[in-house]
């Protein structure tokens, strides 16, 4: 078992020391839709006109984002990923879109998105070529930044194929400076640290120049990939979690909810963990035929509120029991009471035994020790579960391949029959060892243990 603890003092210290790109953007994690995971580099509009990378696809997704309530829930960016470009720059060295798939041009597409009240994002690569083999920005940084501003781009993802990684430490900041000099507010998403593999990237510098950054491999339409990314964020949290905050976010990659791989429970788990990690909520799915139950998960206002909490704290893995297959992540959120934050808690169970497990813990075991206690809610259904004190046991059942997402709202005062309690933090006994968090398999309650045989 592995366990970690933290305090409000540590949180405030981290927040006071964060670095940030000085463009005033992405003060909460960006929310939107991106083409890559679901539609990839499909350029065959002759044989697959409904799914190829074209202006029609992005117009349609923008329409669906409005019609199906995603815009009202907070999703605002429509982002083109790779394979939108023509294979060559024009005679003046300017980037141009593929003329058959984007006959109206990028500025007209941006106008269409803006007229829906949404924002427009685009992809490029800090290299000679994009990952798909189209023109990169190397050698054209200033010109391309100006082009994106002229097209009224609001968000740019800059990938890192076909370039020496040691050039990134100067190249990514240089392009960010050119973006700022255009005068247009453009959210800057960097893939800078994702290419460093065994070397530790310069996270203070990355956070200084980027609004968000990818630092792991691309997500695939796979439950295994979701778990792999979650494990990476837990295992490496001491390396990069402290650099997350308003205007600067670690990006574990796209939400694949509503595609082919994830069940309902798995979808709720990805949404819950991404919310607690303060991750950008960038969907990559087909909004034309997404099932209503997946739309409900993606647009759940209570979950989104946790993700968009203005403190900007990236949740930490506070407990892991690999044998029981339980992980607990905790994110500090508002409101505050008596100097203590509230907490969002996701308890995930990656087992597949066929029945839920019961997890027992106390708030103080996972770093929540506010002496006036908490009012606890189940977040997806917004169900109030009652008052819980720091040393009181909480019992929750977690479905296989699923998660429970709780919010513990710090109480300003503990009341009994209208009288304020004299509860005091010095009255709290020492927290139990995290190893005493109990996990019980409900499917084995009639099973004899090894000790009984």
Q: Give the span between the Cα atoms of 450 and 76, in whole angstroms.
A: 54
pLDDT recorded at residue 421: 40
* Tokens 């990355």, residue located: 206
Q: Give the span between the Cα atoms of 5 and 55, in whole angstroms.
A: 48
Categorize the per-residue pLDDT at 441 as very low, low, confident or very high, splitting at 50, 70 and 90. Answer: confident
Q: Give the span between the Cα atoms of 196 and 89, in whole angstroms.
A: 29
* Tokens 């796209």, residue located: 254
Q: For 383, list phi and psi in degrees, rounded to 5.
A: -95, 125
pLDDT recorded at residue 75: 99
* Tokens 């349609």, residue located: 60
Q: Are 145 and 182 a contacting pair, CB within 8 Å?
A: yes
* Model confidence pLDDT, tens digit, residues 185-236: 999 999 999 999 888 999 999 999 999 999 999 999 999 999 999 999 999 9
What CATH number does the domain located at 316-414+434-441 have? 2.60.40.1180
Categorize the per-residue pLDDT at 425 as very low, low, confident or very high, splitting at 50, 70 and 90. Answer: very low
Radius of gyration of the chain (CA): 23
Categorize the per-residue pLDDT at 289 as very low, low, confident or very high, splitting at 50, 70 and 90. Answer: very high
**pLDDT of 16 higher than 50:** no
Structure token digits, residue 257: 């909810």
Q: For 233, list phi and psi in degrees, rounded to 5.
A: -70, -30
Q: Tell me the average pLDDT across 143-152.
A: 98
Helix (H, G, I), strand (E, B) or coil at 215: coil
Which residue numbers are catalytic? Answer: 159, 218
* Model confidence pLDDT, tens digit, residues 130-140: 999 999 999 99
pLDDT recorded at residue 147: 98
Considering the four listed CATH numbers 3.20.20.70, 3.40.50.150, 3.30.2000.10, 3.30.2290.10, the one that applies to the domain covering 31-308 is: 3.20.20.70
pLDDT recorded at residue 424: 35
Provide the residue ranges of all domains of the chain, joining segments of one domain with +.
31-308, 316-414+434-441
Structure token digits, residue 61: 């997704």
Global pTM reads 0.91
* Model confidence pLDDT, tens digit, residues 49-100: 999 999 999 999 999 999 999 999 999 999 999 999 999 999 999 999 999 9
pLDDT recorded at residue 449: 60
Q: Give the span between the Cα atoms of 422 and 413, in whole angstroms.
A: 9
**Range from 366-375, 399-408, 436-445 carrying the lowest mean pLDDT:** 436-445
Bridge pairing between strands 415-416 and 249-251: unpaired
Helix, strand, coil % over all residues of the chain, rounded to 5: 30, 25, 45
pLDDT recorded at residue 198: 81
pLDDT recorded at residue 447: 63
**Range from 162-166, 389-393, 424-428 carrying the lowest mean pLDDT:** 424-428
DSSP for 91-138, written as a single string:
TTS---B-TTTSTT-HHHHHHHHHHTT-EEEEEEESSSB-TTSSB--T
Q: Give the span between the Cα atoms of 169 and 178, in whole angstroms.
A: 15
* Model confidence pLDDT, tens digit, residues 329-353: 999 999 999 999 999 999 999 999 8
Q: Which of 391, 355, 399, 397 is nearest to 370 (CA)?
A: 391
**pLDDT of 280 higher than 80:** yes
Structure token digits, residue 152: 């009224």
> pLDDT: is 275 or 426 the higher one?
275
């Amino acid at each position: 078992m592995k366990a970690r603890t933290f305090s409000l003092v540590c949180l405030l210290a981290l927040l006071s020391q964060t670095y940030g790109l000085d463009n005033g953007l992405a003060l909460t994690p960006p929310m939107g839709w991106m083409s890559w995971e679901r539609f990839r580099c499909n350029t065959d509009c002759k044989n697959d006109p409904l799914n190829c990378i074209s202006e029609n696809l992005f117009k349609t997704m923008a329409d669906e984002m409005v019609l199906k309530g995603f815009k009202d829930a907070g999703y605002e960016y429509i982002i083109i990923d790779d394979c939108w470009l023509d294979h060559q720059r024009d005679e003046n060295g300017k980037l141009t879109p593929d003329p058959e798939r984007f006959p109206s041009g990028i500025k007209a597409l941006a106008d269409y998105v803006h007229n829906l009240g949404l924002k427009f994002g685009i992809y490029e690569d800090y290299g000679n070529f994009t990952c798909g083999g189209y023109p990169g920005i190397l050698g054209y940084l200033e010109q391309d930044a100006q082009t994106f501003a002229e097209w009224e781009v609001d968000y740019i993802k800059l990938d890192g194929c076909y370039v020496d990684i040691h050039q990134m430490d100067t190249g990514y900041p240089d392009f960010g400076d050119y973006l700022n000099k255009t005068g247009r507010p453009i959210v800057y998403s960097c893939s800078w640290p994702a290419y460093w593999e065994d070397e530790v990237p310069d996270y203070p510098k990355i956070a200084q120049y980027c609004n968000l950054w990818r630092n792991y491999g691309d997500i695939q339409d796979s439950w295994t990939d979701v778990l792999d990314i979650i494990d990476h964020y837990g295992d490496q949290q001491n390396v990069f979690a402290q650099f997350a905050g308003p205007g600067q976010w670690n990006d574990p990659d796209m939400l694949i909810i509503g595609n082919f791989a994830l069940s309902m429970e798995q979808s709720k788990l990805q949404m819950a963990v991404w919310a607690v990690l303060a991750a950008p909520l960038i969907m990559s799915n087909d909004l034309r035929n997404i099932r209503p139950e997946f739309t409900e998960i993606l647009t759940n206002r209570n979950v989104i509120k946790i993700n968009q909490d203005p403190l900007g704290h990236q949740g930490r893995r506070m407990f892991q029991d690999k044998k029981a297959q339980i992980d607990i992540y905790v994110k500090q959120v508002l409101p505050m009471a008596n100097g203590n934050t509230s907490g969002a808690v996701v308890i995930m169970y990656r087992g597949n035994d066929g029945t839920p497990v019961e997890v027992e813990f106390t708030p103080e075991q996972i770093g929540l020790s506010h002496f006036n206690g908490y009012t606890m809610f189940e977040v997806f259904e917004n169900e109030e579960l009652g008052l819980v004190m720091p040393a009181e046991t909480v019992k929750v059942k977690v479905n296989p391949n699923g998660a429970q997402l709780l919010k513990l709202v710090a109480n300003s005062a503990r009341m009994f029959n209208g009288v304020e309690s004299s509860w005091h933090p010095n009255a709290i006994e020492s927290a139990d060892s995290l190893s005493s968090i109990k996990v019980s398999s409900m499917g084995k309650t009639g099973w004899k243990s090894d000790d009984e045989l």
